[in-house]
Amino acid sequence: MKNRVKLGRIKKDLTQAQLAKRVGATRQTIGLIEKGDYNPSLQLCIAIAKELDQTLDELFWEVS
């Protein structure tokens, strides 16, 4: 799954650890999501989107 979580995180000037703490995940989980190696739950996707002030579509929708 391609996503734009890393770009959103960088725009907000957050480290993986800071984002993880804010959404109740681990730094490793955020890293795996950014690499596309982990498919997060809908609950986690929503928490990340809210924290980064973006929509689910903006972060996770695959554009062809």
Cβ neighbourhood burial of 44 (10 Å; 0-12, 13-18, 19+): middle
Whether pTM > 0.75 for this model: the answer is yes
Q: Which amino acid is at 6?
A: K
**What's the pLDDT tens digit per position in 12-53?**
999 999 999 999 999 999 999 999 999 999 999 999 999 999
Q: Given this model, what pLDDT does residue 17 score?
A: 98
- CA 58 to chain centroid, in Å, comes to 11
Identify the structural domains of the chain with CATH numbers, from first to last. 5-54 (1.10.260.40)
